[in-house]
A and B are shown apart, each in its own frame.
Chain A
Amino acid sequence: MPVSIPSSRLIYDALKACGVGLVSALPETWLVHLIRMAEEDPEMILVRLAKEEEGVGLSAGAYLAGTKSAMLMQNHGFLASVNGIVSCAQLYRIPLLMLISHRGEFGERDPWQTEGGGVTEHVLQALRIPYAYLDAPDHVAHRIRKAQTLAYSANKPVALLLCRDLMWEEA
């Protein structure tokens, strides 16, 4: 399972540098190392979810109570969270930092991921959620920091799409 450990470490360290104290997650292949890093970090509250939409409520509660959080999910998890994003985070102007593994793009071999990959960005655009790709190591730290900065200044959800070129080590 050639998920990049160095890239996962870069992402995790960037979240820590941004003061993230709670991570909600639902496992997916590209997220395994990130979830393990959160699990092994005694300073991090890791909440394993049954469904990604719960993470919107968790992040909203944590935020209002004073803790910065990040959500780790697959793009299908993002699709499953849309009502919570709209009717909790956007309705109540709650910042969310969503790290979404962008499955189903060029290079995808799993047939079941391909439909979600094609609609993810359209849904983000329809929801007016600012987003950027994380697709190379050199911009990971500052894109995460800048995404979080906007989320908190605008009081709204932002998304970073974790791309194959960053997450998957394969020729």
Chain B
Amino acid sequence: MATEVILPRLGQGMESGTIVRWLKSEGEPVEKGEPLFELDTDKVTQEVEAEAAGVLLKIAVAEGEVPVGQTVAFIGAAGEDVPEVAPASPEPGAGHRGPTETASPAETSVPGTGLAESSNGRVKASPLARRMARERGIELSGIRGTGPDGRIVAEDVERAEAGGPSPAPDTAPRLWTGTGPPVPLTNIRKTIARRLTEAWQIPVFQLQASADMTRVNALVAKLRERDPEVRVTVTDVLTKVCAHALMRHPEVNAEFGEDAIVIHSHANVGLAVAAPQGLVVPVIQRAEEMPLRVIARHRSDLVGRARENKLRAEDLEGGTFTISNLGMYAVESFTAVLNPPQAAIVAVGATEERVVPDQGEMVVRPMMTLTATFDHRAVDGAPAAAFLQTLKESLEDPGLAL
């Protein structure tokens, strides 16, 4: 019997994807593991590999948007009959899922998506794969299983750790079409729109504080002088300082759920990056554990790849807090919209010389204004204020956070 090629779920929260183009044509032989088609998701564009070997008998969906789990092609023996494909409706109840939200059965009973979730929501993985994922801190739910029945095997964990399926080659057509109205919505634009609309429903409040950046600037200058290879930036110091403050005030490193508030044990700090295809937020995992130079290397890699549209799904997952920095522009301060399900985001304005009082004198200092937005369902004003104060104090005396 012909094997169905099913639109895989490449990342958490993915509900559909857009087939950009097929890399094989009907009648062409296909090896298992060979790239079959290019798929544009709300986060990345990547090649989808064949799960079975044989002949590509029929392409059911040549291009366009397809819900996860729908049959898009058939692979089998040459000349084999293929069943008729009924156009699948989007999965029932497939709402957006946050990275740490537990999947409910209704959302996950998608046979053969390649994601190793069985109908009871349990991820199908070999004991070895489970142990490896546990030891390496990798979420199994985000990994595509290539074993029998979509089971996650050791190789899949290794692949996920090494960086997932290879990104689309540079020859792939850019989805960003540049100038000229109207601009059709890309998946990523749709995602931005949907998520921000969602975020807008959340009751939020803002707190603002300004920090004297004299010492941060000196620190950054010194680190650059010492090690010009690793160009540490103010953003890196901010990342570190935020991670430190989140560890001191875990109630901010939180996520509001229907039945409970989840407090995350690591500070996975997302950085809002203006990529050509739109806003993306790659995440620096466990920033609290990293020295500044390591943060700088990660940031440089993530931002670089974001600008080249080469981020992978896992680069974007697991964030617990976000930094949105418009300091490079002439923006004094601004408020950022929450990045759900995270409970807080900080908006960073430009560092500018301001006259400030110092022991009765007027002095000129490089000042930076931070505006933090909090999900009031999860965080109250006082702990939020304490968090912001730690942030300010650590920026004025970065040694406190290092």
Whether A and B are associated in the same complex: the answer reads no
* Chain B residues packing against A (C-beta within 8 Å): none
